[in-house]
Amino acid sequence: MKLALFDLDNTLLAGDSDFEWAQFLISKGVLDREVHEARNHEFYEHYKAGTLDIHAFLDFQLKPLSHHSRIQLDSWHQEFMATRIHPIITDKARILVQRHQREADKVAIITATNRFVTAPIAREFGVEHLIATEVEEINGQYTGRGAGIPCFKEHKITRLDMWLSDQGLLWEDVTESWFYSDSLNDLPLLQRVTHPFAVDPDATLEAHAKLNAWPIISLRG
């Protein structure tokens, strides 16, 4: 089986959907700018540096979901897609995904960002399979907590193996694999696939890619 995997933020997107969602809520007055904007920037800098406490971040990022109805959240997300996400989807990203959809047996987006934020984005790309950090729900309402293992760093491999198992597959069934990412946080999964690609990479990933002769590409513009 041929498997193509894509990171989402700063890879397929020319920006970070997690960061943009919080900024969107701040711009709507849903979150207090003075309280939340500095923390949002702080978490984003920790992510880029590879020092993010994923559990602290999820507490920050998911809590607002528990304060509003699904109808309200879905309405905001439609506006978020139109104003924040569509402008950062490039033609190059769409074309690359479509090429793998023609050539690979399975294509999936694998991201640390939660499913609420990312599921509509995966649909926009026409990607059926999404491996994301899950959000806990009770009776159709978000609790503001994560569910299961966050899809982050080495646990992207854990979540990938769980997804493959749900498909009735093992990693050993994958004969050829691609993974596209911008981030040093994804080095564990990049080192696992047969075709790792650094996409508009951060400095650490760029250095690692050059050392290991991995292709470095850009999906911007």
d(CA 192, CA 51): 22
Q: Which two tokens stand for residue 180?
A: 């596209």
Tell which wins on pLDDT, 22 or 47.
22
Look up the CATH superfamily of 2-217: HAD superfamily/HAD-like (3.40.50.1000)
Closest by CA to 90, choosing from 15, 17, 14, 20, is 14
Amino acid sitting at position 85: I
Percentage of residues in the chain having pLDDT higher than 70: 100
- Give the pLDDT confidence of 180-192 residue by residue, as tens digits: 999 999 999 999 9
Q: What is the pLDDT of residue 54?
A: 82
Q: What is the pLDDT of residue 151?
A: 97
Q: Residue 215 above 90 pLDDT?
A: yes
Q: Residue 221 above 80 pLDDT?
A: no
**What is the residue extent of each domain of the chain?**
2-217
Closest by CA to 179, choosing from 171, 187, 190, 168, is 190
Cβ atoms of residues 145 and 162 within 8 Å: no
Which pTM value belongs to this model? 0.94
Q: What is the pLDDT of residue 43?
A: 83
d(CA 155, CA 20): 23
Q: Residue 61 above 90 pLDDT?
A: no
CA dihedral 166, 173, 129, 111 (to 10 degrees): 100
d(CA 169, CA 174): 8
Paired strand residues for 181:
198
- Give the pLDDT confidence of 126-182 residue by residue, as tens digits: 999 999 999 999 988 899 888 999 999 999 999 999 999 999 999 999 999 999 999
Q: Which two tokens stand for residue 169?
A: 């597959």
Q: What is the pLDDT of residue 46?
A: 83
Active-site residues, by number, are 7, 9
